[in-house]
């Protein structure tokens, strides 16, 4: 059996850095710590990434590609189950790069690349929710006028963007640990989807939506 080729050093650096950033927060992780974790010299690290900002940008670019790919699926949401899956997928992507959301204001204030590109992702996120709501309305599942679509899509985008901050405030010691991922993601999707309830076209759909979110919710609320 042929041996697998070793991972390229730059990819390995990015992978380990993401783990450290997610675990400790980007401001608390130095290039010295990254080098030590990888058992490489700081010079080797800087050969691949000239600064910590370069590492942040690399990880953000990975996140951006994945997130925009998910958002492209918004017009395909045709029913409540599709909406649940779509939202949960978005939260999974947020979780995989949670350091961005954990330290969002700090990162945006000191990194021009993130300042411009994260704004674009936020706009795309809001637009995707607008398309999703329009798709559900076209399918006859929602009764909602254009003004409310604008407001609701913005509210959904805000909740997805700041949900992990809310979770962190609720439980700073455990909220962003891997063991908490399932409940954090499910609660987030549940609360975003619940915003649709007042606009559902009939009470049967409202009951179905409430049952779907309740089935995945935790005892803690």
Task: Spell out the domains of the chain, with CATH numbers in brackets.
Answer: 7-50 (1.10.10.60), 52-216 (1.10.357.10)
Is residue 139 within 8 A of residue 78, CB to CB? The reply is yes
Q: Is 63 exposed, middle or buried (0-12, 13-18, 19+ CB in 10 A)?
A: buried
Phi, psi of 97 (to 5 degrees): -125, 45
pLDDT band for 6, please (50, 70, 90 cuts). Answer: very low
pLDDT tens for 104-129 read: 888 999 899 999 999 999 999 999 99
- Burial code (b: 16+ CB inside 10 Å, e: under 16) for 8-38 equals eeeeebbeebbebbbeeebeebebeebbeeb
Closest CA to 72 of 151, 139, 153, 129: 129
Quick one: pLDDT at residue 210? 64
Could you report the per-residue pLDDT of 57-105, keeping only the tens digit for each?
999 999 999 999 999 999 999 888 888 889 989 999 999 999 999 888 8
pTM of the predicted structure, to 2 decimals:
0.85
> Of 5-19, 178-192, 203-217, which range is least confident?
203-217
**What confidence score (pLDDT) does residue 37 get?**
96
């Amino acid at each position: 059996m042929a041996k697998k080729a070793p991972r390229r050093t730059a990819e390995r650096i990015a992978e380990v850095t993401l783990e450290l950033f997610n675990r400790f927060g980007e401001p608390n992780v130095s290039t010295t710590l990254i080098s030590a974790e990888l058992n490489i010299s700081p010079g080797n690290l800087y050969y691949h990434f000239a600064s910590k900002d370069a590492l942040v940008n690399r990880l953000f670019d990975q996140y951006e590609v994945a997130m925009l790919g998910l958002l492209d699926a918004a017009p395909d949401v045709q029913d409540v189950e599709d909406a649940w899956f779509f939202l949960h997928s978005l939260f999974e992507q947020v979780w995989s790069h949670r350091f961005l959301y954990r330290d969002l204001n700090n990162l945006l204030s000191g990194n021009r690349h993130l300042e411009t590109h994260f704004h674009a992702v936020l706009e795309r996120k809001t637009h995707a929710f607008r398309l999703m709501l329009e798709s559900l309305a076209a399918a006859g599942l929602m009764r909602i006028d254009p003004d409310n679509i604008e407001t609701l899509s913005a509210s959904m985008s805000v909740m997805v963007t700041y949900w992990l901050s809310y979770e962190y405030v609720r439980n700073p010691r455990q909220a962003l640990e891997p063991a908490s991922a399932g409940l954090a993601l499910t609660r987030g999707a549940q609360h975003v989807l619940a915003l649709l309830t007042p606009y559902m076209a009939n009470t049967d759909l409202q009951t179905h939506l409430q049952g779907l979110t309740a089935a995945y919710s935790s005892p803690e609320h």
